[in-house]
Amino acid sequence: MSPTPHLDGFTVLDLSSVGPASRCSRILADYGATVVKVGPPPRKSAAQIQPPYYSYGAGRGMKRLQIDLKAPDGKAAFLRIAAGADVLIESFRPGVAARMGIGYEDVRKLNERIVYCSTSGYGQDGPHARWAGHDLNYLAVGGFLGMSGRREDGGPALPGATVADSAGGGMHAAIAILAALLRRVVTAKGEYLDVSVAEGVLSFMSLYVDQYLATGEQPSPGRDMLTGRYACYDLYQARDGKWLAVGAIEPAFFANLCRGLGLDRWIAHQLDDACQDEIRADFRHAFVARDRDAWVAELAPRDTCVAPVYAIPELVEDPQFRVRRVFVTAEGGGHGSFRQLAAVLAGEDRTATTYHVRDGAVTDTEALLRGVGLTQQEIEKMRRDGVVA
């Protein structure tokens, strides 16, 4: 029998459809919170992005409320639901939720325990607060792209994942919400959280930002251990055209790598700037002599910090991930059976091997409205008026 989920009994209202806020609510749902995805009725949702059915865990374990928040009846009903919620997450432009009458102050009047989380690109104030943006923009202003590898034309390379959305925004918001819920245990009051995705990017660029602020030294690609200065931390191509990641930072690991490649002569020169071009050339010549997986099988178990650079079809079949149960099967929703990423953050429940997901047209609107005291007649009128679906 699996333990009670960490967030069992907590109710989260999520007004987003995509992006950092949806990343956050996915995390909270996987920790056991009752997450209610709030969106407009279908015929009033032209401006709202509808992600592919498989996105964000295909909505597994979440409820849906379709309600027009611009209609007086819809707003009033939503606020009745918010009065009993623990967390509200929104990702409108700064000031929009307040103008709609569902901002923090509106909800707090009804529910002093609410943890109200606003996610935005640049924060709720400041000269850039109303700038539109996406993941790439936040990685740009947060220094991530400036410190990343370069294309052939010298420009920053496009990242292979939405790092700002998932970590700078989604995980940032989830951590802040969990901290606020812990403080609420002591104060019995909620709080307002202003989550800036760009500032979340800054948090994981802190090694370089702090280096510059403390010393005046300007970090840049190729000048530091983690950005390509040394051959011991780089990518190398194997005979079959596939790539290996080498992260042998510690001297002992570097020595093991050199011995494994038959290049013992470089053991004493790991951080010798004058030798890096020669070391790289020898590493490249050695690695290209065998296929990637042959090198991994030989070097990875020998404390060399060598790993394969996987394509997505490879990683979903990796035996380590299989043992760790990081992929599960989803069934239902009108899309048959398909695999998806499981709840993989530490402490999330990995006992389930199959999840049932629902059709995107199915909602919990009526049950949620009845749960806050609306009568069947009131709900039917709202449905006829197009306020709910």
pLDDT digits (tens, 9 = 90+) for 147-193: 998 888 989 999 999 999 999 999 999 999 999 999 999 999 999 99
| pLDDT confidence tier of residue 351, bands split at 50, 70 and 90 | confident
Q: How many residues does the chain have?
A: 389
d(CA 282, CA 93): 53
Residue 271: the pLDDT is 97
Q: Is 292 left (phi over 0), alpha (psi -120 to 50) or beta?
A: alpha
Q: What is the pLDDT of residue 350?
A: 86
* H-helix or E-strand spanning residue 212: helix 206-215
Q: What is the pLDDT of residues 42-57, one digit of tens each?
A: 876 555 578 899 999 9
If you average pLDDT over residues 196-202, what whole number do you get?
Answer: 97
DSSP alpha helix (H) spans, 18-71: 19-30
Choose among 317, 301, 221: nearest CA to 256: 301
How do beta strands 115-120 and 87-90 pair? parallel
pTM score, whole prediction: 0.93
**Mean pLDDT of the 67-86 span:** 97
Q: CA dihedral defined by 83, 84, 90, 93, rounded to 10 degrees?
A: 0
* Residue among 165, 172, 234, 282 flagged as catalytic: 165
Long-range contact pairs involving 149-154 (C-beta distance under 8 Å, separation at least 24):
149/221, 149/227, 149/228, 150/221
Task: pLDDT band for 374, please (50, 70, 90 cuts).
Answer: very high
pLDDT at 131 over 70: yes
165 catalytic? Reply is yes
Percent of the chain with pLDDT over 70: 98
Cα–Cα distances in angstroms (integers) from residue 97 to residues 109, 116, 118, 199, 206, in the given order: 15, 11, 9, 21, 32
Question: What's the CATH code, domain 225-237+243-308?
Answer: 3.30.1540.10
**Radius of gyration over every alpha carbon of the chain, rounded to an integer in angstroms:** 25
- Catalytic residue, candidates 134, 240, 272, 277: 134
Q: What is the mean pLDDT of the chain?
A: 95
| From 38-52, 184-198, 312-326, the region with the lowest mean pLDDT | 38-52
Once rounded to an integer, what is the mean pLDDT over residues 211-234? Answer: 94
Share of the chain above pLDDT 90, in %: 92
C-alpha span between 275 and 261 (Å, rounded): 17
- Name the segment(s) of the chain with CATH classification 3.30.1540.10: 225-237+243-308
For residue 333, the model assigns a pLDDT of 87
Phi, psi of 55 (to 5 degrees): -70, 150
pLDDT for the residue 46: 54
Is 269 noted as a catalytic residue in this protein? Answer: no
Query: What's residue 86's pLDDT?
Result: 98
Mean pLDDT of 23-30: 97
Residue 152: the pLDDT is 87
pLDDT of residue 101 exceeding 90, the answer is yes
Parts of the chain belonging to CATH 3.40.50.10540: 11-204+340-384
Q: What per-residue confidence (pLDDT) applies to 1?
A: 44
> Which CATH superfamily, name and number, covers 11-204+340-384?
Crotonobetainyl-coa:carnitine coa-transferase; domain 1 (3.40.50.10540)
